[in-house]
Chains A and B, each alone.
Chain A
């Protein structure tokens, strides 16, 4: 299995621009998570989906952030408009319900820089 796939790996954009991050979870996994990592705040859960349905979006910082999961193999995290304080590494993770219940597997992350 290729693992969790994220694109792009690096994104540099100017303040005010729209940014879209993409994630392909591990095939067969039914839960998908978006995290953000910064030096100041560490790793924070933004939102997670179960069977393509958003379950908890309490970590989404504000209305500028939105996430979708149109099918079991694809999710997007969108920031519109972007701001310099959104600069961080964004990780996607997936998990399945098996005997290693809820073990999460992370993608390589997208490093976002907003200038």
Chain B
């Protein structure tokens, strides 16, 4: 049974800092891994999806990496801004769409 863990649960950084969010999963037979952003009281916005055959994906200031053998993924945010404050969730896909979510990392970027 797939289990997804995100560390830390909460993170506070000053504006401009580069930061890394961590995601680990127990079953390496994943189809892909997806990172989401959730603002308070809102739905989930897809940030990046990494296929199992890929090592990383980039979108603007965001870079997500995937290491299936170690069961880890990281989300790197460069030059953080107050607008990046949100909860970030990772989700592993083992079976054609069935996502298993971590509990999320709540990020606060202070001006």
Contacts and interface: CB of A to CB of B under 8 A. Distances in A.
Interface of A: 31, 33, 42-45, 48, 50, 56, 91, 93, 95, 100-109
Contact of A42 (B46, B95, B103): B103
Contacts of A91: 43-44
Contacts, number: 54
A43 B89 CA distance: 10
Nearest to A42: B103
B31 interface: yes
6 contacts: A43-B89, A45-B98, A56-B95, A102-B49, A105-B46, A107-B43
A107 to B, nearest CB: 6
Given A45-B99, A91-B44, A105-B46, 20 more contacts: A33-B97, A42-B101, A43-B89, A43-B101, A44-B101, A45-B100, A50-B96, A50-B97, A91-B43, A93-B44, A95-B97, A100-B49, A102-B31, A102-B49, A102-B93, A102-B97, A104-B99, A106-B36, A106-B45, A108-B42
Task: Describe B's contact surface by its main secondary structure.
Answer: strand
Interface residues of B, number: 24
Task: Describe A's contact surface by its main secondary structure.
Answer: strand
A104 B46 contact: yes
A48 B101 contact: no
Contacts of A45: 98-100
B43 A106 contact: yes
Contacts of B100: 45
Contacts of A50: 96-97
Contacts of A56: 95, 98
B74 interface: no
A55 to B, nearest CB: 8
